[in-house]
């Protein structure tokens, strides 16, 4: 920790607020909730997600286009085509977008389309990538490695800060342990420790920690209760059909309900969830004509009983 001189807190009140856009930030009183699918699959999928999540509201949308998959034969993401989908959705819905960057040579393209560059768990100690995202100014969402210590996470953040980019958000997303019932073990103790050690904002991704959609909402609420500055949660118009991480994806109505359930918890710990956007605003977001069929399909899925056994 001693060596993370830029990441560490100088005094108990020292905190950094990272601005994603002029109106969305992370680390202040208002919590940042990021929602969206594991992978960007199509314009229709992202349009449906953005239109629906405006009502939550979520403050940012996520969706991977360069996917770090365990198997080389699994879907690797839409690449540049996916980046273009994200930036169109971002402009159309006036919502910032977060997406993963996997190598230094992707940094310029991702920074040209996205508002936040995600460095995934598997790349937390890809030092050349850390230096590359440190050499540009867009915020970086740095996810804790699968078996990284808290100190290693802070030193990874230090690489980015040392290159001159002060806009770093840390993300606890579960670590490997012996029990395979959950995909990973959500280390909320690390959130409490990080909030004491560093001035950087810390958010929690309960989706990759749990690996099962029925566990996500309770873990999300616990994360806010223990002081996290926000959440990143995977959700999909038709969760069962998600091309990646289907088992952990929430439906869009369940995601909206989850965000609403955070409000009293946020208030209890002195935080705030952004105000609900009105239905009127949601309905003025007219879907492109080619979405009619897709919407009918998704509407049907939304009427199925919720996937979380509530």
Measured distance CA(7)–CA(155) in Å, rounded:
8
**20-59 positions binding Mn ion, by CB under 5 A:** 38
For residue 198, state whether it binds ligand PEP (rule: CB under 6 A).
Answer: no
Is residue 216 a contact residue for Mn ion (CB under 5 A)?
A: no
The size of the interface with ligand PEP (CB under 6 A), counted in residues, is 9
Where in 141-160 is the site for ligand PEP (CB under 6 A)? 143
Among 113, 208, 236, 271, binds ligand PEP (CB under 6 A): 208
Minimum distance of ligand PEP from residue 127's CB (angstroms) = 17
Please identify, among the stretches 13-21, 104-112, 117-125, 155-163, the one whose residues bind ligand PEP according to the rule CB under 6 A: 117-125
- Binding partner of residue 52 among ligand PEP, Mn ion, none, CB under 5 to 8 Å per kind? none
CB of residue 122 vs ligand PEP: minimum separation in angstroms? 6
Among 68, 104, 166, 227, binds ligand PEP (CB under 6 A): 68
Q: Does 121 bind ligand PEP (CB under 6 A)?
A: yes
Q: What's the min distance (Å) between Cβ of 142 and Mn ion? A: 16
Which residue's CB atom is positioned nearest to Mn ion?
38
Stretch that binds ligand PEP, among 119-127, 158-166, 215-223, 248-256 (CB under 6 A): 119-127
Looking only at residues 218 through 257 of this chain, which bind Mn ion when binding is defined by CB under 5 A? 245
Task: Quote the least distance from Cβ 245 to Mn ion, whole Å.
Answer: 4
Residues that bind ligand PEP (CB under 6 A): 38, 64, 68, 120-122, 143, 173, 208
């Amino acid at each position: 920790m001693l060596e993370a001189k830029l990441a560490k807190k100088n005094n108990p009140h020292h905190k950094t607020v990272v601005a994603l856009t002029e109106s969305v930030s992370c680390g202040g009183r208002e919590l940042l909730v990021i929602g969206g699918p594991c992978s960007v699959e199509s314009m229709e999928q992202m349009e449906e997600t953005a239109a629906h999540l405006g009502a939550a509201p979520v403050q940012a949308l996520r969706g991977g286009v360069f996917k770090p998959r365990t198997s080389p034969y699994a879907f690797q993401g839409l690449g540049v085509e996916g980046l273009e989908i994200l930036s169109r959705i971002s402009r159309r819905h006036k919502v910032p977008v977060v997406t993963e960057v996997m190598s230094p040579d992707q940094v310029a393209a991702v920074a040209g389309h996205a508002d936040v560059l995600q460095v995934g768990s598997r790349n937390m100690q890809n030092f050349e990538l850390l230096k590359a995202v440190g050499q540009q100014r867009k915020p970086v969402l740095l996810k804790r490695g699968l078996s990284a210590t808290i100190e290693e996470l802070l030193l990874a953040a230090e690489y980015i800060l040392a290159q001159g980019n002060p806009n770093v958000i840390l993300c606890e997303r579960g670590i490997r342990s012996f029990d395979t019932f959950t995909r990973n073990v959500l280390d909320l103790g690390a959130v409490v420790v990080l909030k004491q050690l560093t001035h950087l904002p810390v958010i929690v991704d309960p989706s990759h920690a749990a690996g099962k959609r029925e566990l996500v909402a309770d873990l999300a609420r616990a994360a806010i209760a223990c002081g996290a500055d926000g959440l990143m949660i995977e959700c999909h118009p038709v969760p069962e059909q998600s091309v990646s991480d289907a088992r952990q994806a929430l439906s869009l109505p369940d995601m909206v309900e989850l965000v609403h359930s955070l409000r009293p918890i946020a208030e209890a710990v002195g935080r705030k969830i952004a105000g609900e956007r009105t239905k009127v605003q949601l309905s003025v977001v007219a879907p492109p004509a080619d979405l009619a069929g897709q919407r009918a399909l998704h509407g049907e899925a939304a009427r199925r009983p919720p996937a979380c056994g509530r």
